[in-house]
Amino acid sequence: MNTVSVLLPVAVDRAYTYSVPDGMELAPGDVVVVPLGPRNMLGVVWDGQPDDVPQDKLRPVEAKLDGAIGADMRRFVDWIADYTLSVPGTVLRMVLRVPEAFGPERPVSAVRLAGPPPERMTSARARVLDVVGDGLSWNRSALAQAAGVGTSVINGLVDAGTLEIVWLPAAPVVPAPDPGFAPPVLSLDQAAAAARLRESVAADTFSVTLIEGVTGAGKTEVYFEAVAEALGRGRQVLVLVPEISLTTQFLDRFEARFGARPAEWHSGITSRLRERTWRGVANGDIRAVAGARSALFLPFAEPGLIVVDEEHDPAYKQEDGVIYSARDMAVVRGMIGAFPVMLSSATPSIESRANAERGRYAHVVLPDRFGGSLPDIKAIDMRVDGPERGRFLSPVLIKAVEETIAGGEQALLFLNRRGYAPLTLCRRCGFRFECPNCSAWLVEHRFRRELCCHHCGHTIRRPDRCPNCDAEDSLVPCGPGVERIAEEAAATFADARILMLSSDLVGSIAELRNRFAMVERGEVDLVIGTQLVAKGHNFPHLALVGVIDADIGLATADPRAAERTFQLLQQVTGRAGRHRDGGRGLIQTFDPDHPVMRAIVSGDREAFYAREMEQRERQRLPPFGRLAAIVVSGRNQQEAVGHSRALARVVPAAEGVRVLGPAEAPLAVVRGRHRYRFLVQTSRAFELQSWLRQWLAAAPKPRGGVRVSVDVDPVSFL
Ligand SMILES: Nc1ncnc2c1ncn2[C@@H]1O[C@H](COP(=O)(O)OP(=O)(O)OP(=O)(O)O)[C@@H](O)[C@H]1O
Ligand SMILES: [Zn+2]
C-alpha cells in the first residue's frame, strides 16, 4: 500500500498518513484534499517517511489540486515551527491562507459587440455602442465609465443581443516593473552605497546587509538599486513595509522608479485580488511585491531579494497565533533560499546594529540627508516652561507653530496616545472607569462619545452622571490623547487648517490614504497624529514637529524602553525639513537630562547606541543573551496561578539559564483572562528551544481553561 505524509493547517503536532489511490502520483509539496474526521480539508504532502498506520485506519487522499508548495517554503514552515515552538500545522495555515488559489483559475467576464443595434435606442446606449465600436472586449465597469453610463445600460444591451458576454483570462495584477525605467542621479555617498548593494545581489548568495542612514538620507532610493539589480537578473523581489496599507506613497515611488507599481499584500486587499496575487507570485508573473509581514509566506517562484524597510519597527512582531518576528524570519527565508536580505532603518534595532558591528551583517551607512540638513532639535523643559493648568501645549511650542504656519509651512504635533483622555474619573467620589474584562482604564473617545478599552474593545457610552455616586457633571478627563490635543489646537490656532491622523478616527483605508495625500500636497497647516505619522512618511511641506509628551514610553518595564523612545522621537522629528534646510523639532519633556533626550537634542546617535549597547551587554540582554517569555493564562486567577506553580516546580536545571517568575503580568487581566508571566534569560549560545521543550514536556498538560503561550525573543513585556 502506497502512503504519504500530509501536513494539515490545523493545530495537531504532526503530519498525518494517508493512502494514495491507484493512479495518483504524489510528491512532497503537492496540495491535496484529504478527509479529517467528518470533513475534507486542504493539506500539503510533507517530506519524510509516513508513520506506520494500520491498513484499516488508513483513509485515502481525495484529490490532488493544482499548484504545489516548494521545498524552500516547506523548510521555512518547519524552521519557524521549530524556532517559535509552534505546531507546524499552524505555521502552514499562514501559507494556505488562499485556498481558492489551488482550484482552476476563474476567467473574468467582458462584453463585446455581437449583434444589430437595439430596437429602442437611447443616448446612453448610443454612447456605449460608440465605445465598443472599436471591436474590442470591454470589462463592464471600464466600459460603463468610458461611456459615462451605469452598468445597467450595458446589461440591457446584453439582454437585447447587441452585446455578448465573453470570458477572458484575468489581466495581470500589475504590469512588469522595468529596472531601467527611471534611474535616479545619486549623490556620491548614495552611489557608493548602491554599488555595494548591487554587488550583494550580484553575488547571488545569502547575505544580510544593514542599510543605516539618517532620516531623509534616501535609503529607499538606494535600496531601489538593489531591487533593480535583482529584477534585471530575472529574480522576484519582496519589500516588507510596516503599515503598507496606510499610504500609497511607497507604491507611487516604486512606480516612479520602475514604471509600474508592485503588487500589494496586506489585510486590506480583496479576496479576489489576493487569489490572483498568490497565483501571480507562484507562476512568476508578478516580479515585485510590497507587503506586510504575511507576505513572507507567499510562494515566490524565483525569489532574489527581500528588503525589510524600517526594520526596527515593533509592528514586525506578530503577537498572536504563531508568535514570530517578520524581520528575523525574512533573514531565515533568505538563508534557506540562498539570496540576500537587506534591513533598512534610520534607527536600527540594537540587535541589527550589534550584528553589523560584529561583522555578521554588512553595514552600509548614509551619514547625511539628501539635499538638506537634519532638523534642529530642542527640548522644552516642562518643569520650567510648561503650559497653564489643564492645557498641554507649552507657550514655546505654540509660538513655533504660529511662526511656521505664518511662514506658509506645515507643523505636526505628535502624541502617541489615541482617544481624548486615557482616564476618566469622578471629581466627587473618585470613581474611575475601568474595563470589566482587563486591567486597564477605559479611554475616552470624545468624537464617538464613548469610553473604550484598547485591549479588548469593550465600549460604553459616556454617561452624564457618575455610575457610582450619581453626581451630575462630575466626570473629568485626566491626561491627554490626540483628540484632546486637537481640541486645544483648534482653540489656539483658530485659522489653521487642522487634520488629525489616528487609526481609529478614519473609517476606511482609502480615506486614511487620502488624508496622508492631503498632507503631502500641503493642503493642511497643522497635522495632529499618533505613531501612524512617524513611520517613513515623506511630507515635503513639513517644517516643524512638536512632541507633546516625549517621556510617555520611558516609564515601562520594557528592557527596550530607551531604545524605543529614541527610535520614535528620532523618526518623528525626522519628518521635519526633508525638502529644505531649517526643519525644527521641539520636544516637551519633564526629564531633559535623560540620556535619550540628550541624544535626540545633540543628534549624537553614536553616543546613544554605544551606551545602550554597553548596557545590554552588561545585563546580558539581546543580542548578548537570549530571552523567551512564557505566558500562562486562565479563566480565573486560581487556574492561572495553579498552572504557573506547576510549571515553576519542573524548571529543568541547566547551566546558563535563569528563570524569572511566575509573576502577575503588568496587564494582569486581558479579555477576562488572568495572566502570569515567566521570563527566561539565557546566554547567547544556550540551546533555548530544546530546553523550553524539555520544560514544557515536564509540566502537566494545561487543563480547563488554561493556556500556555511561548514567545521566543519577546518584544512585548506586558
Ligand atoms: N538621489 C536622489 N535624487 C532625487 N531625490 C532623492 C534622491 N535621494 C533621495 N531623494 C529624495 O529625498 C527624500 C528622502 O528620501 P527617502 O525617503 O528615501 O529617505 P529615507 O532615508 O528613506 O528616510 P526615512 O528613514 O526618514 O524614511 C525623498 O523625497 C527622495 O525622493
Ligand atoms: Zn478590556
| Per-residue pLDDT tens digits for 293-332 | 999 999 999 999 999 999 999 999 999 899 999 999 999 9
Closest CA to 342 of 383, 306, 382, 302: 306
The answer to the question of whether 429 is labelled as a binding residue is yes
Residue with CA at minimum distance from ligand 1 atom 10: 218
Q: Is the pLDDT of residue 229 over 90?
A: yes
| Pairwise CA distance, residues 417 & 401, whole Å | 21
What is the rounded average pLDDT of the residues 204-231?
A: 96
Candidates 541, 589, 542; CA nearest to 565 is: 589
304 lines ligand 1 (CB under 6 A): no
**Is residue 492 within 6 Å of ligand 1 at its C-beta?**
no
Is 466 annotated as contributing to ligand binding?
Answer: yes
Q: Whose CA is nearest to atom 14 of ligand 1?
A: 216
Which of 197, 221, 223, 342 maximizes ligand 1 atoms within 8 Å of its Cβ, making it the mutation to test the pocket?
A: 221
Q: In angstroms, rounded to a whole number, what is the distance separating the alpha carbons of residues 381 and 524?
A: 28
Return the residue whose CA atom lies nearest to atom 7 of ligand 1: 218
User: Which atom of ligand 1 sits closest to the CA of residue 371?
Assistant: 12
> How far is it, in rounded angstroms, from Cα 240 to Cα 641?
40
Tell me how many helices (H) and strands (E) the chain has: 20, 29
- The SS3 call for residue 82 is helix
In this prediction, residue 446 carries a pLDDT of 85
For 376-417+480-613, CATH gives: 3.40.50.300
**pLDDT exceeds 80 at position 505:** no
In contact, 712 and 86? CB cutoff 8 Å: no
pLDDT at 506: 61
- pLDDT value at 239 more than 70: yes
According to the annotation, is 478 in a ligand binding site? no
Of 308, 432, 379, 438, whose CA–CA distance to 569 is shortest?
379
Contact by Cβ (8 Å): 631, 665: yes
Does residue 220 have its Cβ closer than 6 Å to ligand 1? yes
Count CB neighbours of 168 within 10 A: 12
Q: What ipTM was estimated for this complex? A: 0.96
Which listed ligand is nearest to 368 at the C-alpha? 1
CATH number (3.40.50.300, 3.30.70.2190, 3.40.1440.60, 3.30.565.10) of 3-102 reads 3.40.1440.60
Burial grade of 288 (CB within 10 A; 0-12, 13-18, 19 or more): buried
Residue 709 in contact with ligand 1 by CB distance below 6 A: no
* Span from the CA of 198 to the centroid of ligand 1 (angstroms): 18
Q: Which atom of ligand 1 is nearest to the CA of 538?
A: 17
In whole angstroms, give the CA distance from residue 162 to residue 130.
12
Report how far residue 133's alpha carbon sits from residue 616's, in angstroms, rounded to the nearest whole number.
Answer: 71
Does the C-beta of 242 come closer than 6 Å to ligand 1?
no
Q: Please answer whether residues 303 and 284 qualify as being in contact, where contact means their C-beta atoms are separated by less than 8 angstroms.
A: no
Q: Which three cell numbers stand for residue 304?
A: 532574489
With a cut of 80, say whether residue 668 has pLDDT above it.
yes
User: If 0-12 CB within 10 Å is exposed, 13-18 middle and 19+ buried, where does residue 285 land?
Assistant: middle
**Given a cut of 90, is residue 509 above it in pLDDT?**
no
Q: What is the pLDDT of residues 547-593, one digit of tens each?
A: 999 998 887 778 888 999 999 999 999 999 887 778 999 999 999 99
Residue nearest to atom 25 of ligand 1 (CA): 215
| Position 507 confidence tier, pLDDT thresholds 50, 70, 90 | low
Give, for ligand 1, the residue of 365, 538, 545, 575 to mutate: max count of ligand atoms closer than 8 Å to Cβ.
538
Please state which CATH number belongs to domain 188-366.
Answer: 3.40.50.300
Ligand 1 atom closest to Cα of residue 309: 22
| Distance between Cα 215 and ligand 1 center (Å) | 8
Task: Say if residues 99 and 65 touch (Cβ distance below 8 Å).
Answer: no
Q: Tell me the pTM.
A: 0.89
CA of 529 to the centre of ligand 2 (A): 24
Q: Does residue 215 line the site of ligand 1, with CB under 6 A? A: yes
Cβ contacts of 137-143, under 8 Å, gap ≥ 24: 137/110, 137/111, 137/112, 137/166, 137/168, 138/110, 138/111, 138/112, 139/108, 139/110, 140/109, 140/110, 140/111, 143/111
Does CATH place domain 625-712 in 3.30.70.600?
A: yes
Which of 234 and 141 is assigned the larger pLDDT? 234
Smallest CA-to-CA distance from 378 within 395, 396, 393 is with: 396
pLDDT in tens, 342-396: 999 999 999 999 999 999 999 999 998 887 788 999 999 999 999 988 899 999 9
Residue 156: pLDDT over 70: yes
Residue 452 marked in a binding site: no
The verdict on whether residue 469 carries a ligand-binding annotation is yes
456 is in an annotated binding site: yes
62-102 per-position pLDDT tens digit: 999 988 999 999 999 999 999 999 999 999 999 999 988 88
Does the beta carbon of 480 sit less than 6 angstroms from any atom of ligand 1?
no
pLDDT at residue number 55: 84
Best mutation site among 186, 189, 220 for ligand 1 pocket (most ligand atoms within 8 Å of CB): 220
186 lines ligand 1 (CB under 6 A): yes
Instruction: Decide: 372 in ligand 1 pocket, CB within 6 A.
Output: no
Does residue 216 have its Cβ closer than 6 Å to ligand 1?
yes
Report the mean per-residue pLDDT for the chain.
Answer: 92
User: pLDDT tens digits, residue range 435-444?
Assistant: 988 888 999 9
**Least confident span in 236-250, 585-599, 604-618:** 236-250
- Output the CA torsion 329→333→336→338 (10° steps): -130
Rounded Cα distance between 328 and 713, Å, is 10
Nearest C-alpha neighbor of 411 from the set 278, 253, 541: 541
How close is the Cα of 667 to the center of ligand 1, in Å? Answer: 40
The pLDDT of residue 531 is above 90? no
Distance CA 404, CA 381 (A): 21
Cα 601 from chain centroid (whole Å): 29
- State the cell numbers at 91: 505555521
Residue whose entry in the numeric block shows the C-alpha cell 506547576 = 646
